Amino acid sequence: MDQAIILAGGQGKRMHAPIPKPMFKVLGEPMLEWVLGACEQAAVARICVVTGYESEQIKTYLGSRCETAYQAERLGTGHAVMQALDFLKQDMEGNTLVLCGDAPFIDAETIRDSLVRHIAEHNAATVITANVAQPFGYGRILRTDSGIAGIVEEKDATPEQRAITEINSGCYWFRTADLIDLLGKITNNNAQKEYYLTDTIAIALESGRRAGAYCSKNPDVVLGANDRKGLLALNEAARHAVLNKHMANGVGFVCTDGIIIERSVRIGEGTEILPGTILRGKTVIGTNCVIGPNCVIENTEIGDDVMLNSVQAYDSRIDSDVKMGPFVHIRPNSHICSGAAIGDFVEIKNSEVGEGTAIAHLAYIGDSDVGKHVNIGCGCVTVNFDGVKKSRCEIGDHAFIGCNTNLIAPVKLGKDCYTAAGTTVTADIPDYALAIDRGTLQVKEGYTLRKFAKK
């Protein structure tokens, strides 16, 4: 059985934050999640994550998803893999992939294809490599006709070796039984007094075993982050890769400034994404929409031909032919039906807004069921919370809610009913009725003259 060990014990001191380095996010997901996802997509059967600094954060994140091992002291990559010996010994017949939890761009294709090469060449170890234009700082791969002769680090390389552009990604396939044997032979006889996993390659070759290298088609497999600048570079690389994917699928961008689209988002062809827009989570957007500028959409399903201008929407559904904005907030569990028009400074929460309904501006609709072709005037509020519990309002089809109407939940307004401007509704209104509640107007003549005379 093939399995993977992911090294995720690093602290990342230069990040200046009390979380493990693999938990820093790239496009909204921890770097560790990118690596786990690649393993799962490649159908790696078993996974063990080696934790270290603030290990409980990672264990809480993983839950029961995979096994973990703990590295109490950070004594090198080889030492980290040693902490997973019990995991390795549970199945010694197959192959083991070793990955870095802070190198997020390893991909399923590279994992699968490198394993095929590893098995076909009968290698004890196979290094996953990449050709890069700027190899400075990386270990260079020394190849022979029959495999590789080793890995030389930048500081130890000759001028000729520094000219090599094929570099070590830090990812390896091992025959599991060979890995267990090789781990027992590496030492910490170096300036750092650490156990390096790269030493296993030289030891394997010295003992007559074969070592090979698989050069990935994806040069980004080598990329990691040691500080905030490096993390920004990872985010930029991932951001542009996602934008390029969407453009290839027919999504339009007039300018990509400030646009962040997480890789789980799906967008239909003909849709245009305008600057400053952030699309997160399981968001799905239909065809021929215009989203932006300055929208934040998270876990929301959007139909076709929708126009959103400066809208924030979370965990909701927006049907086709809806127009919204600017400055609209759609809070979770809302459903905006087709043809609705939502204007500026409107907030909707846990509500259904019917087909063709218009909420022009400056309104709050919370915990409500609004019918079809309703008109809700400026300044209207569904008063859904009495300080103890929240209650719902129901507004029938074709109702007309006048400006500055307050609906004190729970109330039900019938179809085709009207409320006069300034009305506070505290009881149900039947179909076709008009509700008026303005009290008695009192005019105090000369009031301001008397008021200012006292001063």
The domain locations on the chain are 3-222, 228-435
At 450 the pLDDT is: 87
At 440 the pLDDT is: 80
At 33 the pLDDT is: 98
Question: Angle, nearest 10°, between helix axes 199-206 and 176-183?
Answer: 100
When pLDDT is averaged across residues 315-334 and rounded to a whole number, the result is 98
**For this structure, is 361 an active site residue?**
yes
206 CB neighbour count, 10 Å cutoff: 10
Q: How is residue 12 written in tokens? A: 């990342």
pLDDT tens, position by position, 396-410: 999 999 999 999 999
pLDDT tens, position by position, 257-280: 999 999 999 999 999 999 999 999
Q: How is residue 409 written in tokens? A: 């939940």
- Which one from 329, 361, 373, 398 is the annotated catalytic residue? 361
**H-run or E-run covering 177:** helix 176-183
Single-letter code of the amino acid located at 327: F
Phi and psi for 165 in degrees, rounded to 5? -105, -5
Q: Is 417 left (phi over 0), alpha (psi -120 to 50) or beta?
A: beta
Q: How is residue 356 written in tokens? A: 């063709």
At 280 the pLDDT is: 98
Whose CA is closest to 369, among 361, 360, 357? 357
117 CB neighbour count, 10 Å cutoff: 16
Quote the pTM value: 0.90
Beta bridge partners of 363: 346
3-222 CATH choice from 3.40.50.970, 3.40.980.10, 3.90.550.10, 3.10.270.10: 3.90.550.10
228-435 CATH choice from 2.60.40.1930, 2.160.10.10, 2.40.50.140, 2.60.40.10: 2.160.10.10
pLDDT class of 190 with cuts at 50, 70, 90: confident
pLDDT tens, position by position, 153-173: 888 889 999 999 999 999 999
Whose CA is closest to 395, among 364, 360, 371, 366? 371
pLDDT tens, position by position, 197-217: 999 999 999 999 999 999 999
Say what percent of the chain tops pLDDT 70: 100
- From CA 275, how far away is CA 280, in angstroms rounded? 15
When pLDDT is averaged across residues 338-362 and rounded to a whole number, the result is 97
